[in-house]
Amino acid sequence: MELKNKTIIITGASSGIGAAAALLFAAEGANVVLGARRGPELEQLVEQITQSNGNAVFQAGDVTDEAYATALVDLADEKFGGLDGAFNNAGIMGDMSPIQNMETANWRSVMDANLTSAFFSAKAQIPAMLKQGGGAIVYTSSFVGFSNGGMPGMGAYAASKAGLIGLVQSLASEHAAEGVRINAVLPGGTMTAMAGDDPETHAFIAGLHPAKRMAAPKEIAQAAMFLLSDRSGFVTGSPMTVDGGMSVRLL
């Protein structure tokens, strides 16, 4: 079992990639601490995991609240005796519009959800891992804002996700010698609620990828699991593309 006895926080866990990660990590032996805004969905997911003999707890909250990042770490310590890893996956796309037409409130909400929340999680999670002698953190970034992946109308999203890669690389450099590895996964188009439910839109997005399809949420979760497991023991500071070749096409 890849993650046996490891305690891992997962944010954005109520649906999509986060929910897929919760099920996968628990099946691979992890104690999972689930976070998201939607409490009922988290409760159902915890019930599903525990019915399969997995270990899971949850606490609903908003990742843009610094106290929530601390609360998830405290929950991991209270229920499972510490923290070994985190998959900081929560994020939003925000409104798509040219910058000159974008509301300042939209810019700030995207930055808060995608980038400032990463700052809060690092502040809370890294000291907890240092107490245990090391750990691993994975953030969900995007090909958008990386490797010529800019797309019209996505200035706030691209800036937040590019900034997240910079933060990951800085944190990785700071803590590598202390045994804390910090990486990012960069998904391509993935079949989640964020992708909507229009088949024509899905077909268009799929066609942008050399793989000519969109990812299943579990495929992104599997990449995150690799970065959290001991198999990636010499990997840190990596922006790991999991995008069906999208970034290669854009080079």
* Adjacent-strand bridge partners of 32: 8, 56
User: Cα separation of 182 and 164, whole Å?
Assistant: 11
Instruction: State both tokens at 23.
Output: 């099920």
- The CB-side HSE value for 97 (13 A sphere, CA atoms) comes to 12
User: Cα separation of 33 and 57, whole Å?
Assistant: 5
CB distance 208 to 249 below 8 Å: yes
Instruction: State both tokens at 193.
Output: 């609620």
* Catalytic machinery residues: 157
Pairing of strands 31-36, 135-140: unpaired
